[in-house]
Structure 1
Amino acid sequence: MALTRRKLLLGAATVSATWLTWSGVPAWGLAPAPPQEQFMQVSALLVNHRLDARVGARMAAAAAQKFPQYAQMMKSIIGIANAKQARQVEDFFADIPAGPLQDFAHWIIFAWYSGCSSPKKDAQVFAYETALTYQTTADAVAIPSYGFSGPNQWGRPIVPLTPMPSF
């Protein structure tokens, strides 16, 4: 099979045209993503650490499913923080009314620190390495490994074999 210059140019033009055509088409059948920007804004107010946006997107999706009044709760917390001109959680957390809104704020804080949605067996895990509880000890905690030459070298020491007896 010989590849001529004309076939190469025709193939390149076809691939380019296909890419240009399909790159502008919206993703059909995909559900719209929950408003992650608001969730990250509330998270930044409630948790005074550098937060990972990818983990925040997973948490926002889980929060939208777990809390029926998700959008209203987000607006309420942002409104309370703006009214107090808050820069950190201590500036406005006492003004969040007890009940579902405060439970939601506690859930966000718990999720960022633990990396999961609840302490139950059926919890959804968002992160391990980027969980804030892990971050405080990341420099001292060894990564578990069962390899003979890996970190901590978990396993029995290798005992040299004795020579086989000759009969």
Structure 2
Amino acid sequence: MAHPSRDDCPEEFSLTRRKLMVGGALFVGGVLLSPEVSAQTLGAAAPEVSTSFMEVSSLLIDHHLDAQIGSRMAAAMLRLHPTLAQDIGAIIEIAKKKNARIVEDFFADIPEGNLKDTALAIISAWYTGVVENSSTAEVFAFETALMYQPTHDVMTIPTYAISGPNGWNAQAPPLGNMPAF
């Protein structure tokens, strides 16, 4: 009976079932351990924090906010600030006591310290698109970061893409009337 592998194929390039299974297991393990999946898993593990995070965010910020980005932000902030759930609950209670609909109705009543820092951190995260100020910070919102919205029609977001953020596949504009020498 003939050997199942080709004679001209070097052994190091031969793909056996065992190599395929080990490679697949390593790939799946790498995907499950990636930061984005970990943040989504943490967000799924604490849906009540994500829901209350969106509630307090809508009170603190008078803009349309993306719930998916909010869920990821809540998970990341929960990792950085373990008391986030309690702080959000206290901020919501203060807003309910004042029957607040916008931030100006209750922000002055938030006491200085941890609660005010949490409220400012949530506002900062939505406007900047990151939850911490470091060179390794994960970006949650780039083109949807609120700091770009007021000037969206006149200012381009810094990018290396030719036609703007996420425009990597766009056709380059044609060059106009190049001089002939």
Query: If the length of structure 1 is used for normalisation, what is the TM-score?
Result: 0.67
Mapped to 2, the partners of 1:46 and 1:108 lie a distance apart of 8
What is the correspondence of 1:79-158 to structure 2 with a 5 Å cutoff? 79-142=93-156, 144=159, 145-146=161-162, 150=172
1:56 aligns to 2:70 (yes or no): yes
TM-aligned CA distance change 1:149 to 1:33, over 3 Å: same
Counterpart residue number, 1:23: none
Residue number among 77, 91, 100 corresponding to 1:77 in the alignment: 91
* Cα deviation code 1:24-83 (max 9, x no counterpart): xxxxxx651442111100000000111111110111101111111111111100100000
Q: What residue identity is the alignment partner of 2:109?
A: D
- Post-superposition offset of 1:103: 0.6
Distance (whole Å) between structure 2 residues aligned to residue 142 and residue 111 of structure 1: 20
Q: For residues 141 and 75 of structure 1, do their structure 2 counterparts lie closer, same or farther at Cα, with a shift above 3 Å needed?
A: same
Unaligned runs of 5+ in 1: 1-29, 163-167
Which structure 2 residue ranges, 5 or more long, are not aligned? 1-40, 164-169
Which residue, 11, 22, 44 being the options, matches 2:58? 44
Query: Closer, same or farther in 2 for the Cα pair 1:95/1:134, shift >3 Å?
Result: same
Report the AA paired with residue 51 of structure 2: E
What value does the CA root-mean-square deviation take over the aligned residues?
2.7
Aligned residue in 2 for 1:24 = none
Whole-angstrom CA distance in 2 between matches of 1:45 and 1:136 = 19
Matches of 1:152 and 1:112, distance apart in 2: 37
Cα distance in 1 for partners of 2:174, 2:104 equals 41
Q: Cα distance 1:61–1:146, how it changes in 2: closer, same or farther (>3 A)?
A: same
Structure having the higher Rg:
1
| Alpha-carbon distance change, 92 to 124 in structure 1, aligned in 2, over 3 angstroms | same
Q: Percent of aligned positions with the same letter in both sequences?
A: 47
Partners of 1:149 and 1:135 in 2: how far apart? 25
